[in-house]
Amino acid sequence: MKVPFVDLLPQYLNLKDEIDTELMNIISKTSFIGGTAVKEFENLLADLENRDCAVGLKSGTSALILALKSLDLPEESEVITTTLTAVPTVEAIVQAGLKPVLCDVDIDTAQISLESVKNSINSNTKVILPVHLYGIPAPIKELHEICIEKGLTLIEDVAQAQGAFIDGQRVGTFGLISCYSFFPSKCLGGFGDSGAITTDDQDLSEKIRAYANHGRTEKYVHSTVGLNDRIDSIQAAVLKTKLPLLKLWNEMRNSVAKKYLEGLKNTPGLILPSFTSGSTPAWHLFVIRTSKRDSMSKFLNDAGIGTGLHYPIPVHLHPAYEFLSYPKGSFPVAENYGDDVLSLPIYPYMEESKVDYVLEKVNEFSYMDISS
């Protein structure tokens, strides 16, 4: 049996008529930039995310950069984030002209360590930028309290966790600004790159909208030097059609995750994903840990099962980020994660037989390994 790491086709096939109609509509109107699709998508997104404003953008990376830029912070202001994340989180801080201050992660949840955050705060700290990694909520309530107490801004990187909840509250509703990616494999994915910010601050949202549109505040008037970071209409049309199904798709991810958690709970040599009891993860990724990562990965791949690594190298150990001066050993927990993480296939409409096959093969490898 073949089990791909992700299969996006069923999402499309389930909405084929609606998506095709929307796309033909854009094409026949030749309305490729802006227009009603973008407006409608932004309105739906703001409603879904329980926010007053949403601005569609070119990517999750541009959402992070523009969110940070909109704060008009002095150069070299420090932004605290996790080293165990997709590189764009940290890249965005640098591209916004600010200084990333990296933190280690909690050994159980892989989320940014509160202790590490507290130890990193100094007079230059202006922003805390947690990532809800793998779709599991970061300790966002505690971070929100720290921000209030210390007068810092909270920006959430929700790229992997759209639709996750913590204690009944949707992630992405805690920070001043929240940043989303609609990279095709994300919980809500487009047909290419796109992203968005949400916020309840109308002024900030307008500032970000203008910045992403060459600094234009009204027709023919450019008030700031901006750039072109707009969402395009084709992405907006696809996303507005898919968005009503996000809840269902996250439930489908959740039922795969539940089967994995149950089917692997006694498997020797594995550490399973862990989250606080009040959390409902969005399960963008299902990441297990094993000291036999490379051999298990090969075994699964040979059996026709796709796997991923998120992330084999924490950001501080990439050559591009050497200048941040965090040598190997700076963040031991995140570095250990890098050595033993393995992501199993998870996606909406994943057939039960495929989930069972993954379980069978992970168990086969693990029991074979202890008996040898």
Ligand X SMILES: Cc1ncc(COP(=O)(O)O)c(C=O)c1O
Check whether the bond before 367 is cis (ω within 30° of 0). Answer: no
CB of 129 to ligand X, least distance (A): 10
CA dihedral 364, 296, 368, 107 (to 10 degrees): -100
Stated as kind and residue range, the H or E segment containing 156 is strand 153-157
CB of 74 to ligand X, least distance (A): 24
- Assess 229 for contact with ligand X (CB under 6 A): no
For ligand X, the closer of residues 111 and 125 by Cβ is 111
For ligand X, the closer of residues 183 and 331 by Cβ is 183
Interface with ligand X: number of residues (CB under 6 A): 15
CB of 159 to ligand X, least distance (A): 3
For ligand X, the closer of residues 299 and 321 by Cβ is 321
Q: Which residue type sits at 317?
A: L
For ligand X, the closer of residues 140 and 355 by Cβ is 140
Are 284 and 134 a contacting pair, CB within 8 Å?
yes
Return all residues near 306 (Cβ < 8 A) that are at least 6 apart: 3, 4, 5, 6, 345
- Assess 183 for contact with ligand X (CB under 6 A): yes
Spatial distance between the Cα atoms of 325 and 312, rounded to a whole number of angstroms: 19
CB of 341 to ligand X, least distance (A): 14
Burial zone of 283 (CB within 10 Å; 0-12 exposed, 13-18 middle, 19+ buried): buried
CB of 181 to ligand X, least distance (A): 3
CB of 87 to ligand X, least distance (A): 8
- Assess 159 for contact with ligand X (CB under 6 A): yes
Q: Which of 59, 81, 111, 343 binds ligand X (CB under 6 A)?
A: 59
Site string for ligand X, 75-94 (x = CB under 6 A): ----------xx-xx-----
Strands 221-222 and 216-218: antiparallel
Spatial distance between the Cα atoms of 100 and 125, rounded to a whole number of angstroms: 10
Stretch that binds ligand X, among 59-67, 117-125, 147-155, 332-340 (CB under 6 A): 59-67
- Assess 130 for contact with ligand X (CB under 6 A): no
Q: Which of 11, 61, 113, 250 binds ligand X (CB under 6 A)?
A: 61
Spatial distance between the Cα atoms of 298 and 304, rounded to a whole number of angstroms: 10
Site string for ligand X, 11-50 (x = CB under 6 A): ----------------------------------------
Spatial distance between the Cα atoms of 180 and 41, rounded to a whole number of angstroms: 13
Are 353 and 291 a contacting pair, CB within 8 Å?
no
Are 307 and 297 a contacting pair, CB within 8 Å?
yes
CB of 226 to ligand X, least distance (A): 18
Q: Which residue is nearest to ligand X (CB)?
A: 60
CB of 160 to ligand X, least distance (A): 5
Q: Which of 7, 157, 335, 340 binds ligand X (CB under 6 A)?
A: 157
Q: Which residue type sits at 226?
A: G
Cβ-count burial 303-318 (b if 16+ within 10 Å, e if not): bebbbbebbebbbbbe
Spatial distance between the Cα atoms of 342 and 44, rounded to a whole number of angstroms: 35
CB of 190 to ligand X, least distance (A): 9
Stretch that binds ligand X, among 54-62, 214-222, 319-327, 347-355 (CB under 6 A): 54-62
Spatial distance between the Cα atoms of 101 and 326, rounded to a whole number of angstroms: 10
- Assess 189 for contact with ligand X (CB under 6 A): no
For ligand X, the closer of residues 253 and 354 by Cβ is 253
Which positions lie near ligand X, rule CB under 6 A? 59-61, 85-86, 88-89, 131, 157, 159-160, 181, 183, 193, 195
